[in-house]
Copies of this chain bind each other. A is one copy, B any other.
Amino acid sequence: MVKAIFKKRVLYAETDKMGFLYYGHYAMLYEIGRSELIRDLGISYHDLEERIEVMMPVLSLQCRYKLPAKYDDLLSIKTEIRSRPTKMITFNHEVYNQENQLLNTGEVKLFFVDMITNKRISCPDYLNQKLDSFF
């Protein structure tokens, strides 16, 4: 398993009329989670696109909302890859506030597209090798 934690403060921009982080913004927290986890592996998603010419469109998103995140909360986004990617990669997320309350869980599945042929491919070696020591 690969794990990473990243902190993010809730902005005024991201709150809604209820005073809570808008339910649609968790997808952005998950983006932060997965891109920082990949960066921790020694790659960056940016490089994956620019140098390896592979992009990772999203296949599905699942969110469960347990408690609201409030303005100025300092969130911890915990992200895990629990199994080796194949034709797909799955990221699992848990979002906690500064009191360590679990606010939200999420799962995002992405696939891999060769940006030259525009065809779906398996997880590129470049990323796979970085995962070798974890599985």
User: Which listed residue (B25, B32, B62) contacts A60, Cβ 8 A?
Assistant: B62
Oligomeric state, in copies: 4
| Contact residues on A (Cβ < 8 Å of other chain), bracket | 35 or more
> Are A28 and B24 in contact, with the CB atoms below 8 A?
yes
* Contact of A92 with B by CB under 8 A: no
Q: How far is the CB of A90 from chain B (nearest CB, A)?
A: 14
Which positions 1-47 of chain A face chain B at CB distance < 8 Å? 11-13, 15-20, 22-28, 31-32, 35, 44-46
Identity of the chain B residue whose Cβ is nearest the Cβ of A15 in the assembled complex: B17
> Are A71 and B55 in contact, with the CB atoms below 8 A?
no
- Assembled-state Cα–Cα distance A25/B32 (Å): 15
> Are A23 and B27 in contact, with the CB atoms below 8 A?
yes
User: Which listed residue (B46, B63, B71) contacts A72, Cβ 8 A?
Assistant: B46
Identity of the chain B residue whose Cβ is nearest the Cβ of A47 in the assembled complex: B72
The 10 listed contacts between A and B (C-beta, < 8 Å) are A11-B31, A12-B16, A12-B45, A15-B17, A24-B28, A45-B72, A57-B65, A60-B64, A62-B62, A62-B63
